[in-house]
Amino acid sequence: MPTKRLPENPSLDHLKHQAKDLLTRHSQRDLATAQRIREFHPDFRDATDKQIFATRLSLSDAQLAIAREYGFASWTRLKRHIEKPDSRDALAHPHHQRIEDPLFRHAVDLIDSGDTSGLSLLLKKNPSLIRQRVLFEGENYFRNPTLLEFIAENPVRRGVLPANVVEVATIILNAGPEQSARDSALQLVGTGRVPRECKVQIPLIETLCIYGADPNAALQPAILHGELDAAHALIRLGATPDLPVLAALGRTDEFLALLPASSASQRHLAMALAAQYGNADALRALLDRGEDPNRYNPPGAHSHSTPLHQAALAGRLSVVQLLVERGANLDIKDLLWEAIPADWAHHANKRKIESYLRKQRR
């Protein structure tokens, strides 16, 4: 789920009220609140709604969830951001402008300009740079990147990559970044709009995998972000499609073969992706096995919405009809814009789906 943006002049008192309101809604067994807690409180990542409601939450639990909902690791760090802001807290600025370490920032500038000789020399003189990380807060990814992760231009900072970015990446890879940095960079490239638009997404994926990045680490994220060319490249490079990926790619026979031995978490994600990509056959099989069409999607998979929201947004009429026939609630609101699926169809100009959904609500 995307994190919320703090207002320009955030009030700590208002955020405290939000935490108390979260506790109240939890006591009322509000399903949207359960989803927020599952997404943003680390102790409840895999918890069911029933388990979340059965747990007595403290005010500090609620404050932690609120802090992470705004992209901060803890309530203490959110409080510091409001009471004692520094250059890292200029959240509207591009990430490279928020780097406090001048040497690290210089290295990022060399990456962005494609200065391979300057970057090589800098890394040779300062070998510790390759494992150094910078801290960004105020969002839920790219929070603690190394230099390697800046090759993806994801999140977008300048909107373009240097033409020689593969050579730039190779210089950094030869300096020996950690495995986690290689895998994270692969995920960012595989889900990034700018690498695709600059026609370097596949070459970067290939280079990262040659240097040991795990193609499986990026396969589901690429699918979730609609980067199918990247997904196919990752499979070609050794990634193994699992149940959710097969549902998204329409490989229904393989999907059905894996379904009997699948886990609950795999089926939950598979339902989200089947709805997003319009695989009615896979979705029907999941519903036949008892999957609930009214669950919010799992964390990391557009979890602010339900399968019906995603199917309506994508214009998947047959899937929308199937979900409605199987009891999908037409009035569930998403967690960001508080809109029902018909509103999502209207936003996406899917008039036929919008008309169908509004008629079903009468």
What is the tens place of the pLDDT at every residue in 47-76?
999 999 999 999 999 999 999 999 999 999
pLDDT over threshold 80, residue 239: yes
- Dihedral of CA 150/152/157/158: which sign? positive
**pLDDT confidence tier of residue 336, bands split at 50, 70 and 90:** very high
The radius of gyration computed from the CA coordinates of the chain, to the nearest angstrom, equals 22
The answer to whether 40 and 2 are in contact (CB under 8 A) is no
pLDDT digits (tens, 9 = 90+) for 266-318: 999 999 999 999 999 999 999 999 999 999 999 989 999 999 999 999 999 99
Q: What's the rounded mean pLDDT across residues 317-333?
A: 97
| Domains annotated on the chain, with CATH | 12-85 (no CATH), 95-240 (1.25.40.20), 245-361 (1.25.40.20)
Does residue 101 register a pLDDT over 90?
yes
Q: Which residue has the tokens 């029907």?
A: 284
Per-residue pLDDT at 236: 98
Residue 138 is predicted with a pLDDT of 84
Each residue's pLDDT tens digit, 87-100: 677 777 899 999 99
Which pLDDT score, from 0 to 100, does residue 362 have? 75
What does pTM read for this prediction?
Answer: 0.92
Q: What is the 3-state secondary structure (H, E, C) of the chain?
A: CCCCCCCCCCCHHHHHHHHHHHHHHHHCCCHHHHHHHHHHCHHHCCCCHHHHHHCCCCHHHHHHHHHHHCCCCCHHHHHHHHHCCCHHHCCCCCHHHHCCCHHHHHHHHHHHHCCHHHHHHHHHHCHHHHHCCCCCCCCCCCCCCCHHHHHHCCCCCCCCCCCCHHHHHHHHHHCCCCHHHHHHHHHHHHCCHHHHHCCCHHHHHHHHHHCCCCHHHHHHHHHHCCCHHHHHHHHHCCCCCCHHHHHHHCCHHHHHHHHHHCCHHHHHHHHHHHHHHCCHHHHHHHHHCCCCCCCCCCCCCCCCCCHHHHHHHHCCHHHHHHHHHCCCCCCCCCCCCCCCHHHHHHHCCCHHHHHHHHHHHC
pLDDT band at 15 (very low <50, low <70, confident <90, very high): very high
Angle between helices 317-325 and 264-277 (to 10 degrees): 130
- Contacts of 289 by beta carbon, 8 Å cutoff, 6+ apart: 259, 267
CA distance 146 to 169: 12
CA nearest to 334, candidates 65, 49, 41, 32: 32
Per-residue confidence band for 361, with pLDDT thresholds at 50, 70 and 90: confident
pLDDT at 140: 79
CB contact burial 319-350 (16+ within 10 A = b; e otherwise): bbbbbbebebeeebbbbeeebbbbbbbbeeeb
